[in-house]
Structure 1
Amino acid sequence: MHDLESKAIELLALCKDKGFRLATAESCTGGGIAAALTDIPGSSSVFERGFVTYSNDSKEELLGVPKTLIDIEGAVSEAVARAMAEGALAHSHADMAVSVTGVAGPDGGTSAKPVGLVHFAVAQHHRVTVHRERRFDPLLGREGIRRESAILALNFLIETVQNAPD
């Protein structure tokens, strides 16, 4: 079984057991996390909605990420990842939301934000939004960075659900 599929199955089962609903806010993964979840039959009992906010305008319009935050921090940043997850939570009926924003390449990287830099955040109601940063090897290529980012996001959600109070 493909690792992405097995992680999606594991997450959906955990969420179903705890009664959690999920939302996603994806930039560099382009909906890959939502696709992995919705590939699993019965996922509609857990997966509430997904936002693919590839452009800065979509981050602002669909998730409420402040333009000034994007202008100051850049779309690929901890602050924007946190705002995306919180925006997905606020604009859905989910209990938990994950966001992903990064540079998948092969172009677009800088010395400060190289190809392979990805920020993740998980937001929950009445909890502090948590963040992770990962620097994937650019040799993975665009497809590899996107796939590994989706897997990491699912693992991040699995850990969060496992540690959530019942």
Structure 2
Amino acid sequence: MVAIQAAGGSMQADGPVPAHASQAADSLFARHIEIAPTDTDESGVVYTPRIADFVVETVETWFVDRLAMVLHANGRHMVFASLSCTFLSPMRPRDGMEIRVALRRIGRSSLGFEIVGLRQSDDRLCWMAETVCVFIEPQSFRSRTIPPELRQVLRAEADLAIRHPFADRTMGA
């Protein structure tokens, strides 16, 4: 367990936490991955359920990077309540992908994210996803109010998403 000081208060995180986690970000969170042959279906394009995995993994990584917070640790539990995805262009093995995350909505107990997947070779928008995560009480699975010490950091991330919209991307297959 590693103790870190983040904007808004101290939190605990399991394992290493990036040194920049407590610093204010000036761009949207981006994660780079390489599409592996095992990520594809029989036709040679990314298997649809893998996109859901990429979304969940990326949002969880966003929590560590931006909030210095590991989900399901230190009493801060979240579940993914919804996920929708629109596929625009196929991706194949060895395509590099950049996945960007924008926090679009902060509710009483939930966060709404927009996530996009871009093929790195031509910066083409390949898919767009939206997901809602809900803070919960782990014993009852009932929603709980977002901890106050996180709200200021979350507001800064939502403001960042407004300043860096995904609207500059051209949709198309």
More helix by share: 1
Higher share in strand: 2
- Pair member with larger Rg: 2
Q: Shared fold (TM-score greater than 0.5)? A: no
Q: TM-score, normalised by structure 1?
A: 0.27
